Amino acid sequence: MDAATRAFVRERARNCWEFCGLPQQAEPFFKFHVEHIVARQHGGSDDAANLALACHHCNFHKGPNLTAIDPLTGRIVPLFHPREQQWTEHFFKNGTLIDGLTAIGRATVSLLKMNMPDRRRLRG
């Protein structure tokens, strides 16, 4: 992936993580990653439509996963896709917590461990 593509992804995301909205300045010691929404090992490309800005914590937890288990229903559902879905349809900021409004939202929050104490402190 070239530098121009990385710069475009950062600019498009306004230098905020595209899953929880955490701004880069909240974690100045860790540069956010340009991550593949669909991992290369699953056929994902380096095209900007398949890339999102992610913090190291959540990128580590997402890994190559495309799905997760909705903690409410126990069903396997797709993860949130920031290029194809609207954040406000799946998530709600409740103070420093991020609540999943849908099965996709709940599964994404759970898999990415979005409400761990360190994440909440950074959002506080």
Three-state SS for 109? helix
CA pseudo-torsion sign 78, 79, 80, 83: negative
Q: For residue 122, what pLDDT is reported?
A: 84
Which regions of 1-124 does DSSP assign to beta strands (E)?
Answer: 33-36, 51-54, 67-69, 76-78, 91-94, 97-100
Give the separation between CA 102 and CA 90, rounded to whole angstroms: 5
Please determine, for residue 43, whether its predicted confidence score (pLDDT) is greater than 90.
Answer: yes
| 33 vs 84, higher pLDDT | 84
Q: What is the pLDDT of residues 45-88, one digit of tens each?
A: 999 999 999 888 888 899 999 999 999 999 999 999 999 999 99
pTM of the model: 0.89
% pLDDT > 70, the chain: 100
Q: Does an H or E element contain 116, and which?
A: none
Structural domain total, the chain: 1
Structural domain boundaries enclosing 54: 3-123
Please determine, for residue 27, whether its predicted confidence score (pLDDT) is greater than 80.
Answer: no
Please determine, for residue 30, whether its predicted confidence score (pLDDT) is greater than 80.
Answer: no
Residue of 91, 112, 94, 93 whose CA lies nearest to 102: 91
Give the separation between CA 124 and CA 112, rounded to whole angstroms: 18
| 22 vs 105, higher pLDDT | 105
